[in-house]
Amino acid sequence: MTNNNKMSSWGSIINAVKTPLGFFTLVVLILEGVLLVTAKSTEKISILIPIGLLGLVVVLVFAIAWRKPHVLYGWQPATVNLTFLETDPHISETLRKLEVDPIDVDLDLTRCSYKICDKKGNVKHSGTPNLTFDKGGWTFKVDEDIGPSDSIRLELVECNGQKWKVRPFLPSRTDQRAIQINRNVER
């Protein structure tokens, strides 16, 4: 085998390891190979040790897949870009929601809140959201342990008291609309 073929083989192996499960599998296979070769070449290690280790790994992966399956395939919640829609009850229904320029929304980061709920609606986490003004708009990044089927609820408050609400959404969604919920504050 030439050096180019060896390098492309290693490259394809490295490219295949893109998730935590893939990395874990690669490490276990290497360890199993070393233990099997050592067990066959010497009598110091019983052949039952590599077989027992492989059985333990299978049980551990099953337990992880049962409790938190999303961690096996490297799932990460998306960063959510927020769009702000102002409601005006004095105009027609079709024109009622007008987009507000994000630069005009001065969020009071200490008064904003979020809730993360499981499939059944039970609150798993709540607190102050990780909001940043980035790329010309407000973004929200989930820092908590969250699964792909959990829902996120946001309530945003500006320094002037204006409130905005984001309807519940899945953490894989990248764009969300914040709807104005109290119109008694002038811009």
At 59-116, the pLDDT tens digits run 887 887 777 766 666 666 777 888 887 765 555 555 556 778 888 889 999 999 999 9
- Does residue 185 fall inside a structural domain? no
| One domain, residues 17 and 53 | yes
Most confident range, picked from 32-36, 89-93, 113-117, 180-184: 113-117
pLDDT-derived band at 16, boundaries 50, 70, 90: low
Alpha carbons within 13 A on the beta-carbon side of 143 = 9
| One domain, residues 173 and 84 | yes
Query: Which residues does residue 127 pair with via DSSP β-bridges, in sequence order?
Result: 114
| One domain, residues 30 and 84 | no
DSSP, res 107:
B
| One domain, residues 66 and 85 | no
Structure tokens at 107: 């969020």
- Does residue 15 fall inside a structural domain? yes
- Does residue 18 fall inside a structural domain? yes
Alpha carbons within 13 A on the beta-carbon side of 58 = 7
Say which CATH number the domain at 148 has: 2.60.40
| One domain, residues 56 and 144 | no
Structurally, the chain folds into a number of domains equal to 2
**What single-letter amino acid sits at 178?**
A
- Does residue 133 fall inside a structural domain? yes
| One domain, residues 37 and 92 | no
Q: Supply the pTM of this predicted model.
A: 0.58
DSSP, res 58:
H
- Does residue 187 fall inside a structural domain? no
pLDDT-derived band at 38, boundaries 50, 70, 90: confident
In this predicted structure, what is the pLDDT of residue 114? 92
What are the distances in angstroms from CA 183 to CA 25, 31, 163?
55, 63, 8
In this predicted structure, what is the pLDDT of residue 173? 79
Task: Give the C-alpha separation, 152 to 145, whole Å.
Answer: 12
**Which residue range forms the structural domain that includes residue 113?**
80-180
Sequence-ordered list of residues with C-beta below 8 angstroms from that of 72, at least 6 positions apart, any chain: 19, 20, 21, 61, 64, 65
Q: Residue with structure tokens 């960063």?
A: 79
- Does residue 186 fall inside a structural domain? no
| One domain, residues 91 and 173 | yes
In this predicted structure, what is the pLDDT of residue 57? 79
Sequence-ordered list of residues with C-beta below 8 angstroms from that of 68, at least 6 positions apart, any chain: 147
| Number of CB atoms found within 10 A of residue 57's CB | 17
What are the DSSP calls for 124-155, one per residue?
EEEE--EEEEETTEEEEE--S---TT-EEEEE
Q: Is 74 helix (H, G, I), strand (E, B) or coil?
A: coil
Cα–Cα–Cα angle for 113, 110, 133, rounded to 5 degrees: 85
Instruction: Kindly give the pairing relationship between strand 175-180 and strand 80-87.
Output: parallel
Look at 31 and 12; give whichever has higher pLDDT.
Answer: 31
